[in-house]
């Protein structure tokens, strides 16, 4: 039986895209309290099922697939630029495929403006009208209004006309930043990307006997299985270690490990892998917010996914990507890396920031571990010494050295030098991942 919360989310998904919803309406239609309705709508917003806009309300928007995540809706544009909707509210749920900056003659501007676009322009009223007739929405910058005729057209064509107090350059930067953030999110591997779904997951019922465990073990050759109750709620996990010394007629619930570690569909693969390595487990169940089993992930799946992701070309660069791209290996018998301090790496005083410094030391240590055919490692501990500040544009040498390495861990010393003077040192301990 679904909870009230689940029922509300399911109901929201059945609503037509573009439909306006409210806490009061949900509470009345589904006979729930307004508090329950409010919490469910907030979760729907997190899941990108709806978008809430100040002075407009909450609108059902199209749920985007991960491959199209960088396409923003007009409702999201309103929130990004702190905008006010002047007309065409019925089209806020629509997605835009590109934005055009109106910084040219009207005829030239219209050559570039097509259906599904967003024209970013100031108080050029003819441009507003022409854009709407071409099927494009309009974002008016500088806090200017739109003509009444334009507002009527916007309502007629269901294309939003939005006003923002920011200037055109700032607005374009804000939208680009939002798209860029979406690209980075798109590249992050989540559990939902590698999950073995429930229909392909062998699992046991808590009232079954150990003999059923042995049957599944022979059928699948897997050593561990999640355990569920009659509502499909995860209640435990059972492995070969749990069944040793127990008779075949004993119930699974008597020997299973209760309250096992779980991850959600939105957990990153890296975080899940880190946790599995830390806890020394090979199989982890995936559960939803209500504890229902959604599938399982194995350590092999996680490692394979991480290795594949490392070989992918990056579209949206994070600060880590920028720093990694600055590290270059010198031609030398020993591994010596060099990097130049760029403006992105500095703090307010023009010297390298602690975060960038730590990232460089970690990357250098990982690089030398890779030379020992240890492709995957997880940082466990770091002692870092900042001896002298490193200024912008300085060319710095990083010299990592392995002090100790075993099958499961490694200790690496890293020395940072500027013009033959030691400016920093670090001792880093890593856990090494079994293939």
Going along the chain from its start, the domains and CATH numbers come out as: 4-60 (1.10.10.10), 74-187 (3.40.1390.20), 192-308 (3.10.580.10), 319-432 (3.10.129.10)
Model confidence pTM above 0.75: no
Q: What is the mean pLDDT of residues 340-363?
A: 87
How many angstroms separate the CA atoms of 373 and 16, rounded?
54
Q: Is the pLDDT of residue 65 over 60?
A: no
Residues 334-346, mean pLDDT to the nearest whole number: 85
Instruction: Let me know if 423 is exposed, middle or buried by CB neighbors in 10 A (0-12, 13-18, 19+).
Output: buried
- Please give the pLDDT value at position 310: 57
Average pLDDT over residues 300-317: 63
- DSSP letters along 250-306, please? SBHHHHSEES---B-TTSBHHHHHHHHHHHT-SEEEEE-TT-BEEEEEEHHHHHHHH
pLDDT in tens, 239-283: 888 888 888 889 988 999 898 889 888 888 878 877 887 777 888
Mean pLDDT calculated for residue range 288-301: 85
pLDDT at 162: 94
Convert the pLDDT of each residue in 133-191 to its tens digit: 999 999 999 999 999 999 999 999 999 999 999 998 899 888 888 877 776 666 677 88
Q: What pLDDT does 417 receive? A: 92
Which of 244-248, 278-282, 363-367, 394-398 has the lowest average pLDDT?
278-282
pLDDT higher than 60, residue 67: no
pLDDT value of residue 2: 66
Asked if the model's pLDDT at residue 411 lies above 70, the reply is: yes
Range of lowest pLDDT (55-64, 265-274, 313-322, 337-346): 313-322
Residue-wise pLDDT for 91-132, tens only, equals 988 888 888 888 888 888 888 888 989 999 999 989 999 999
What gap in Å lies between CA 419 and CA 307, rounded to an integer? Answer: 36
The model's confidence at residue 1, banded by pLDDT at 50, 70 and 90, is: low
349: buried, middle or exposed (CB in 10 Å: 19+, 13-18, 0-12)? exposed
With pLDDT > 90 as the criterion, what percentage of the chain qualifies? Answer: 24
> What confidence score (pLDDT) does residue 118 get?
92
Residue 315 has pLDDT above 60, yes or no: no
According to the model, what pLDDT value does residue 399 have?
92
Cβ count near 5 (within 10 Å)? 16
Q: Can you give the length of the chain in residues? A: 435
Q: Report CA 137 to chain centroid distance, whole Å.
A: 28
pLDDT surpasses 80 at 354: yes
pLDDT (tens digit per residue) in 215-235: 888 888 788 899 999 888 999
Check if the beta carbon of residue 135 is closer than 8 Å to that of residue 157: yes
């Amino acid at each position: 039986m679904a909870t009230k919360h689940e029922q509300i989310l399911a109901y929201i998904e059945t609503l037509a895209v573009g439909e306006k919803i409210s806490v009061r309406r949900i509470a009345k239609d589904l006979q729930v309290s307004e508090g329950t309705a409010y919490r469910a709508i907030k979760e729907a917003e997190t899941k990108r099922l709806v978008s809430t806009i100040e002075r407009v309300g909450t609108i059902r928007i199209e749920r985007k697939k991960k491959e199209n995540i960088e396409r923003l809706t007009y409702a999201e544009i309103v929130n990004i630029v702190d905008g006010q909707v002047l007309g065409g509210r019925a089209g806020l749920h629509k997605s835009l495929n590109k934005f055009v900056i109106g910084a040219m003659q009207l005829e030239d501007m219209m050559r570039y403006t097509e259906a599904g676009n967003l024209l970013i322009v100031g108080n050029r009223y003819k441009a507003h009208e022409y854009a709407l007739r071409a099927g494009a929405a309009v974002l008016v910058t500088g806090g200017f209004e739109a003509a009444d005729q334009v507002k009527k057209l916007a309502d007629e064509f269901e294309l939003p006309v939005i006003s923002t107090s920011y200037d055109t350059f700032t607005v374009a930067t804000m939208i680009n930043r939002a798209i860029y953030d979406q690209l980075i999110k798109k590249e992050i591997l989540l559990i939902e990307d590698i999950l073995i779904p429930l229909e392909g997951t062998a699992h046991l019922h808590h009232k079954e006997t150990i003999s059923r465990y042995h049957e599944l073990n022979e059928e699948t050759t897997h050593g561990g299985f999640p355990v569920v109750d009659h509502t499909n709620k995860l209640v435990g996990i059972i492995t070969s270690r749990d069944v040793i010394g127990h008779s075949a007629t004993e119930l699974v619930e008597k020997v299973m490990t209760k309250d096992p570690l779980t991850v959600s569909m939105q957990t990153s693969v890296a975080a899940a892998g880190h946790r599995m390595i830390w806890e020394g487990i090979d199989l982890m169940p995936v559960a939803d917010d209500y504890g229902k089993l959604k599938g399982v992930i194995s350590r092999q799946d996680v490692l394979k996914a991480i290795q594949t992701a490392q070989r992918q070309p990056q579209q949206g660069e994070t600060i880590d990507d920028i720093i990694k791209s600055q590290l270059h290996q010198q031609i030398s018998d020993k591994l010596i890396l060099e990097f130049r301090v760029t403006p992105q790496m500095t703090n307010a005083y023009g010297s390298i920031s602690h975060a960038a410094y730590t990232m460089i030391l970690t990357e250098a240590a990982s690089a030398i571990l890779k030379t020992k055919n240890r492709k995957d490692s997880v940082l466990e501990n770091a002692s870092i010494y900042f001896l002298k500040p490193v200024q912008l544009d300085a060319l710095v040498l990083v010299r990592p050295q392995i002090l100790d390495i075993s099958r499961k861990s490694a200790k690496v010393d890293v020395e940072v030098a500027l013009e033959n003077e030691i400016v920093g040192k670090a001792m880093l301990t890593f856990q090494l991942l079994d293939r």
